[in-house]
Structure 1
Amino acid sequence: MAAATRYWVASLPVQTSASSLWSRLQDEISKKSFDTPVYRFNIPDLRVGTLDSLLSLSDDLLKSNTFIEGVSHKIRRQVEELERVSGIEGSPLTVDGVPVDSYLTRFVWDEAKYPTMSPLREITDSIHVQVAKIEDDLKVRVAEYNNVRSQLNAINRKQSGSLAVRDLSNIVKPEDIIMSEHLVTLLAVVLKYSQKEWLSRYETLTNYVVPRSSKKLYEDNEYALYTVTLFHKVADNFKISAREKGFQIRDFEYSPEAQESRKRELERLMQDQESMRSSLLQWCYFSYGEVFSSWMHFCAVRVFTESILRYGLPPSFLAAVLAPSVKSEKKVRSILEGLCGNGESTYWKSEDEVGMVGLAGEAETYPYVSFTINFI
């Protein structure tokens, strides 16, 4: 079965034992929605603190979750874009080599990173700070990469745009230009439909034009580029007459040194772009795993916090991760509600009584804790 991109995290109140409730949930899913994977979401015994601290924390959890989820999506989209540009076949994103869907469905709390005796606020704040730092780093790295891309794009536009404005150094060769004490070669940009007119008139636009000296070097969708050789002393008069007849004379000075410098600069930028693209992609692979791991720990705190606020103390709930298909969602909702007593559970309180419905901001409310995790 292909990995899902959308999961539900839900918790149910335990009335007898968590193991018996887990068995009932598995049995109901297998009977009524057999195509829905279901996994235990193992949350450790976290530090509860005071009711006031839980209520205060709950006010910020949705906002922080939206931020963390948004950063994970930014990095994922950046990975997809870099892989597309590089022509790399996308590989599954991981947390320390574990595919992210497996990391969620086999979640294990990282005690070393987030000690369970730490206050919940301290845990969520540290997660928020860490993810914010990664987002800032992403912005800097992407800006540097995009700056190099912009420079390359500017060069490419100059070398591939209209003949009226583009750089001509990669079109004009040394043998096309005559520069002597008396003679000079000019470059004329001529509308495609005016080429016959140019060829019939250029020799008479001024005196001292070398006969039959005009040669076509290049043609694009709109214009053709021609050379014309004449005496230095009439160059300005020729330019004026040419403009009056609708022919554009491009200023151009052939410089082997300048052309070689532009070539080296282009090569350097291309190497920089490739190096930065590879570096950014590797950074994104690693950082996505960091953000995703932090996000799942954050989700564990959310389940724990809302379950206590909804079901009371001491903490006694079963958390699960489910991946229902769209067509199975109603069945699964019905199963979860049934395991809460069809909405008549003594644990169920109205929004007015609790002051909150669900930390996920679900459009509908349920007699159990529920929120959605979207990978994409």
Structure 2
Amino acid sequence: MASRYWVVSLPVQNSASSLWNRIQEQISKHSFDTPLYRFIFPNLRVGTLDSLLSLSDDLLKSNNFVEGVSHKIRRQIEELERVSGVESSALTVDGVPVDSYLTRFVWDEAKYPTMSPLKEVVDSIHGQVAKIEDDLKVRVAEYNNVRSQLNAINRKQSGSLAVRDLSNLVKPEDIITSEHLVTLLAVVPKYSQKDWLSSYETLTNYVVPRSSKKLFEDNEYALYTATLFNRVADNFRTSAREKGFQIRDFEHSSEAQESRKQELEKLVQDQENLRSSLLQWCYASYGEVFSSWMHFCAVRVFAESILRYGLPPSFLACVLAPTTKSERKYVQSLKGCAIVVTVPFGKLTMKLGEEWLV
């Protein structure tokens, strides 16, 4: 598929067929590998020239909005596919590839009646795309909320000892809990381990001698136990904090551990379900937005052609896909044309012929 398309509008002086033949001849002189297609859509309701001039001022803003939503959805598809590691699927519009839809465009009379004023057509396109954007925001927010919860749990599982969940590191036999004794867990910086071992017994009174045991060590910290009398636990915490040791609150509970495990499994499943649902929705919505974008492109071609060439409508619109190197030649061969540059996965901009004159 080409990465860049032009939709070109030229005034018809004699007949559309003779002009079409002349365009084909001009294109063939410069490149034989550039496909050329008719961009066919019905005559739309013109209204007054004043209304067209007023509408022309709004077309660029509306176009940027519709284009922007299509890019948001495309980027969301790319993000979902990257996260899941699945192979990218071809984007489609009404079941056909994007480039096929563009080069064989057919105006949807049922959705956008040609007898409706152009302003109503533009407002209808804008409104439909705005609803899709709002739906996208809600769906993405729901998906990101579950991802954030899952990431928070994963950080607790794999983060440093200062923040991670300790339930998988501490065994029931490591903890002494009785009427008078309690075992506390201390997170000690790796460079301070000797200081901990030499000082923990004196951080407060009634600390059980030689009760400290190292349970785990990561890149930054080591996890130690210390057993002492319940009544001096608060004093121990305070003294430990003053020396740079963190006392982590911990209560071993098999029920709580099982509950956390079930919560994690549920979040993983929820994330996968939401990811799959969002990806399917994005594929369908991208096609709908791209279709709206092409109808909007047709409105722009029609409006700009009327303003440029006058009434009654008499112009020929076609689609071509020049290579980057040959664009300059095509500009020279199509002087005086109103040119719309469309890029299915990039930007959509509007330029008039004089702006392209060399």
TM-score (norm 2): 0.90
Report SS of the residue matched to 2:334: helix
In 2, Cα distance between the equivalents of 1:176 and 1:275?
39
Counterpart position of 1:58: 56
Report SS of the residue matched to 1:294: helix
Q: Which amino acid aligns with 1:198?
A: W
TM-superposed deviation, 1:304: 1.2
Determine if the alignment matches structure 1 residue 74 to structure 2 residue 72: yes
Q: Which amino acid aligns with 1:175?
A: E
> In the TM superposition, what are the counterparts of 1:280-359 in structure 2 within 5 Å?
280-337=278-335
Counterpart position of 1:158: 156
Determine if the alignment matches structure 1 residue 85 to structure 2 residue 83: yes
Report SS of the residue matched to 1:239: helix
Counterpart position of 2:257: 259
Counterpart position of 1:354: none
* Residue pair 1:43, 1:304 contacting (<8 A) in 2 also: no
* Residue pair 2:8, 2:319 contacting (<8 A) in 1 also: yes
What is the aligned counterpart of 2:40 among 39, 42, 64?
42
* Residue pair 2:30, 2:326 contacting (<8 A) in 1 also: no
In 2, Cα distance between the equivalents of 1:247 and 1:54?
73
TM-superposed deviation, 1:55: 2.1
Per-residue Cα deviation, 1:11-39 (whole angstroms, up to 9, x for no partner): 01111111111111112111212232221
* Residue pair 1:33, 1:332 contacting (<8 A) in 2 also: no
Counterpart position of 2:337: 368
Counterpart position of 1:342: none
Counterpart position of 2:277: 279
* Residue pair 1:216, 1:227 contacting (<8 A) in 2 also: yes
Q: Which amino acid aligns with 2:337?
A: Y
Identity across the alignment (%): 82
Q: Which amino acid aligns with 2:298?
A: A
TM-superposed deviation, 1:237: 4.2
In 2, Cα distance between the equivalents of 1:54 and 1:201?
84
Per-residue Cα deviation, 1:94-132 (whole angstroms, up to 9, x for no partner): 112211111101111112222222222222211111111
TM-superposed deviation, 1:291: 0.5
Counterpart position of 1:249: 247
Q: Which amino acid aligns with 2:329?
A: K
Per-residue Cα deviation, 1:57-99 (whole angstroms, up to 9, x for no partner): 2221111111111110111011111111111111111112211
Per-residue Cα deviation, 1:277-304 (whole angstroms, up to 9, x for no partner): 1111111100000001111111111111
Determine if the alignment matches structure 1 residue 110 to structure 2 residue 108: yes
Count the aligned residue pairs: 345
Q: Which amino acid aligns with 2:212?
A: S
In 1, Cα distance between the equivalents of 2:113 and 2:243?
82
* Residue pair 2:38, 2:319 contacting (<8 A) in 1 also: yes
* Residue pair 2:10, 2:317 contacting (<8 A) in 1 also: yes
* Residue pair 2:66, 2:126 contacting (<8 A) in 1 also: yes
* Residue pair 2:304, 2:338 contacting (<8 A) in 1 also: yes
In 2, Cα distance between the equivalents of 1:325 and 1:304?
25
| Distance of aligned partners of 1:18 and 1:199 in 2 relative to their CA distance in 1, 3 Å threshold | same
| Distance of aligned partners of 1:207 and 1:61 in 2 relative to their CA distance in 1, 3 Å threshold | closer
In 1, Cα distance between the equivalents of 2:59 and 2:309?
18
What is the aligned counterpart of 1:4 among 2, 5, 24?
2
In 1, Cα distance between the equivalents of 2:88 and 2:112?
31
Moved more, 192-201 or 58-67: 192-201
Moved more, 225-234 or 35-44: 225-234
> In the TM superposition, what are the counterparts of 1:180-259 in structure 2 within 5 Å?
180-259=178-257
Per-residue Cα deviation, 1:343-367 (whole angstroms, up to 9, x for no partner): xxxxxxxxxxxxxxxxxxxxxxxx2
* Structure 1: stretches of 5+ with no match in the other structure: 338-366
TM-score (norm 1): 0.86
Per-residue Cα deviation, 1:236-268 (whole angstroms, up to 9, x for no partner): 444344344433222222222222222222222
Per-residue Cα deviation, 1:127-157 (whole angstroms, up to 9, x for no partner): 1111111111111111111112222222223
What RMSD over aligned residues (CA atoms) do the two structures have, in Å? 1.9
Report SS of the residue matched to 2:200: helix
Report SS of the residue matched to 1:195: helix
| Distance of aligned partners of 1:63 and 1:229 in 2 relative to their CA distance in 1, 3 Å threshold | same
* Residue pair 1:33, 1:331 contacting (<8 A) in 2 also: no
Moved more, 124-133 or 235-244: 235-244
* Structure 2: stretches of 5+ with no match in the other structure: 347-358
In 2, Cα distance between the equivalents of 1:234 and 1:61?
74
* Residue pair 2:161, 2:222 contacting (<8 A) in 1 also: yes
| Distance of aligned partners of 1:117 and 1:247 in 2 relative to their CA distance in 1, 3 Å threshold | closer
Q: Which amino acid aligns with 2:339?
A: S
